[in-house]
Structure 1
Amino acid sequence: MKKMLIGLLSICTALLFLGTEALAAGSSAKPAQDTRPGISQYNSGVKLMKQGKYEKAEKKFEAALKKDPNLAEAHNNLGYSLRKQGPQNYERALSHYNRAIELKSDLAEAYMYRGVLHALMGNEGKALEDHSKLNQLDLGLANALQAAIASGEEPEGLDGLVNTW
């Protein structure tokens, strides 16, 4: 009886090991590529934005939005790319930040970027409203926005806060 139990236990252990191997073989360390409409263009735009190529990034984000007009992150980064190209683009940038927030009310980066834009445009009250919201969403970004409001200058090192897919 004891030999039979040991034999069954050995078989169960072997089956368990084989089952684990089969599961591991079916999984992948590399995540599947996101095939949603506009994601490829969005990812290209983020890369260009991180390189400081804002005009080219603008085109990629616009292409992404043609494929998916409800991609909040693309609106946010299009607003950022426009803002970085100068005051002549501030109104368009503001409309894209607003749309990003409309689509995704917890997108902290959109509040950060919009708050900076409000500060640059001299709308300190609106910048402080975005700061207040950021205090609920992301304290690090809230602190960065507070510094930008205090200095009245564009903060450094905030490119590409929204990830690629």
Structure 2
Amino acid sequence: MHNLTKERNRLDKVLNKEIKNKELIKFSHSQQTLSYFSSASALNLTMFHKLPHTHFFTSSYTGEQSAKRDMLEDVVIESEQVSRMIETELAVVGRIGDTFNTIANNNLNDTMKVLTVWSLALTIPTILTGFYGMNVGLPGTHASYAWIMILIFSVIIALLLLFILRIGHKL
């Protein structure tokens, strides 16, 4: 348990600086190991509670039997403490994992927001050039500088859209 706690603390410090997949995989491994320890501890505790009712202990309280019962009580107390320590560590690891999931989701949301804004901004020039690429008469298509005007108009509309989205984001 001591080694697992030290490893969890080390991984927590590393992940607080920079989230890396390699460290997250190690963190997940620690969580799995703690789950196995938790299960084993619970089974041991159940066995220790049932042990006094087996043929190893008789109803007579001779000196040897009394010493066995005292020793078993000490073992049960220690096992309960270990079980609580494992459950506490497992809860801490779970909360840390949830925190890193939240951070990763927030980072992904920020990335998706930026990509959405840029895809909207780049859609405007595509639509305008698509209209002027048709074989129909549109205003300004006969001028020799029409493509420059379309390009400038597209950039102005895209910048206006970015400005509107930026102001809307701040509100």
After TM superposition, the score normalised by the length of structure 1 is 0.27
After TM superposition, the score normalised by the length of structure 2 is 0.27
User: Which structure's CA Rg is the greater one?
Assistant: 2
Greater relative contact order (CA < 8 Å, ≥ 6 in sequence): 2
